[in-house]
Structure formats: structure tokens, C-alpha cells
């Protein structure tokens, strides 16, 4: 399997994602420059965290126009696996590959800490190595992680079981206190109708090795490898 990690000007989690894809899974990975039109025959695309193009206009608003995103959109439309992490989630929403938007955190402060996220859908290419309802401890690091969508979209996400991760307590209870940023319905990650595109705010690449103090993010990469093995 070959991972492709996009590099935008301002990305700061691209090398983390590249390293995690190789070290955590033993698979191949390559960097994909933002102005390229070539996905280099990758099997899964990672849109990493950071501050693409400085986020000067709005998070992800400029990155969505990058040439590489045209190819990512085509890849996703053909069923290709795409995961957007943190800023990558914001970019996927701006590009229309996922519904909703990420707004400023409710407390209007940058948050960087470990959080608990409950796996609400283990039947996706990104969570098949998890148990339904399993709680993963994964770090966040964002200023705009407050997920929002309109009522009709939320109803659709719930009906189609497309809310993949929710912020929760260590015991798996979804509570206001467990919500670090004010996200609607404690949403930490959602997927596309075809379940081949995922956006999530917590950083699995920062929790995929024991040296980082947590290895539960490894399951996201492990799931992707498993999904490709069954194709």
C-alpha cells in the first residue's frame, strides 16, 4: 500500500503523517506537492494538519483551490480513500468533499491536549480495526475545531451513520464536559456518503507510536491498510 501525504505551504503535520504511515504500518508513503496534478498512484491520500497557505482568508479556503485538490476530488469521486486531519478536515469541508464547516472553538482559544473520542461507526475504511463504541485517546491541536452544520445535514449524518467519532468521557459517555471545542453533537469526525472520505480533528499521527505516549491513533492507519487488503 502507498500513502500520499499532501504538502501545502504552511502544513506542519505532513512529516508526522508521512512518518506514521511508514513506521506504524510498514507501508510506503510519498509527499505530494500542492501544485502537482499527479497523485503518483497512491492508494490513500492524507490531507494533513497545519496552516495551509497560512489560513489567512479562512481555514482551508485557499487550499481548496490548489491543483492537487482537483486530483483529490477526482480520486474521492472514484472511491479512493482520503483522510483529512485537523486542517485537512477543514480543507475537505471547504472543498465540498465533506459537509459542514469548522468554526472557532467555543472558548475562542487554541486547544492542545489529549482527548477521548468514541468510535461511533466502526464499519468504515478508517475504523475497521476498532470496536463499535471503543474510546480512543488521541491529541487535538486547533483553534477552529468547532464543527457545525445545519439541522437537515445533522439529521442526514445521524440517519446514515456518518458521524464516525464523537468527543466523549473515558467511559464513552457523550457529555458537554467532554466536548473541548463546542462541536455540534460532540462531533469529532464525519465521513462521506460512500464512507471513503473521512475528516477528523484529533491527530492519529501524533499517537501512533509508544514513544509519543499513546498508540491508539495507530488503529486509524491499521484500518486503512486492512481496507486496502480487502479491495
Distances (CA, A) of 50 to 152, 161, 206: 30, 28, 13
**Active site (catalytic) residues:** 86, 203, 205
Does 6 have pLDDT greater than 90?
yes
Does 80 have pLDDT greater than 90?
yes
| Architecture category of domain 2-229 in CATH | 3-Layer(aba) Sandwich (3.40)
Mean per-residue pLDDT over the chain, rounded:
96
Does 138 have pLDDT greater than 90?
yes
The CA-based angle 49-52-57, given to 5 degrees, is 125
* Greater model confidence, 43 or 208: 43
pLDDT digit string, tens, across residues 150-182: 999 999 999 999 999 999 999 999 999 999 999
**What was the pLDDT predicted at 179?**
98
Pairing of the two strands 2-7 and 28-33: parallel
**What was the pLDDT predicted at 146?**
98
Does 62 have pLDDT greater than 90?
yes
pTM beyond 0.85: yes
pLDDT digit string, tens, across residues 33-48: 999 999 999 999 999 9
Whole-angstrom Cα distance, residue 86 to residue 155? 23
pLDDT digit string, tens, across residues 116-134: 999 999 999 999 999 999 9
53-57, 180-184, 218-222: which range is least confident on average?
53-57
**What was the pLDDT predicted at 24?**
81
What is the average per-residue pLDDT within 75-82?
Answer: 98
What is the band of 203 on the pLDDT scale with cuts at 50, 70, 90? very high
With the C-alpha atoms ordered 74, 203, 225, 36, is the resulting torsion angle positive or negative? positive
Amino acid at each position: 500500500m502507498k500513502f500520499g501525504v499532501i504538502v501545502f505551504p504552511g502544513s506542519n503535520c505532513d512529516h508526522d503523517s508521512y512518518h506514521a504511515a511508514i513506521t506504524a504500518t510498514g507501508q510506503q508513503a510519498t509527499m505530494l506537492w500542492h501544485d502537482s496534478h499527479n497523485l503518483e498512484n497512491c492508494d490513500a491520500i492524507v490531507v494533513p494538519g497545519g496552516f495551509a497557505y497560512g489560513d489567512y482568508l479562512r481555514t482551508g479556503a485557499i487550499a481548496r483551490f490548489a491543483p492537487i485538490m482537483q486530483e483529490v476530488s477526482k480520486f474521492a469521486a472514484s472511491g479512493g480513500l482520503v483522510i483529512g486531519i485537523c486542517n485537512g478536515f477543514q480543507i475537505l469541508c471547504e472543498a465540498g468533499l465533506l459537509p459542514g464547516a469548522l468554526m472557532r472553538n467555543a472558548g475562542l482559544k487554541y486547544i492542545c491536549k489529549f482527548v477521548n473520542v468514541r468510535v461511533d461507526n466502526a464499519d468504515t475504511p478508517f475504523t475497521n480495526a476498532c470496536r463499535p463504541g471503543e474510546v480512543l485517546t488521541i491529541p487535538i491541536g486547533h483553534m477552529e475545531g468547532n464543527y457545525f452544520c445545519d439541522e437537515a445535514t445533522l439529521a442526514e449524518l445521524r440517519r446514515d451513520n456518518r458521524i464516525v467519532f464523537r468527543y466523549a468521557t473515558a467511559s464513552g459517555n457523550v457529555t458537554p464536559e467532554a466536548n473541548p471545542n463546542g462541536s455540534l453533537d460532540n462531533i469529532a469526525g464525519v465521513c462521506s456518503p460512500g464512507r471513503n472520505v473521512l475528516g477528523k480533528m484529533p491527530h492519529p499521527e501524533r499517537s501512533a507510536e509508544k514513544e509519543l505516549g499513546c498508540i491508539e491513533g495507530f488503529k486509524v492507519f491499521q484500518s486503512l491498510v486492512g481496507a486496502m487488503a480487502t479491495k
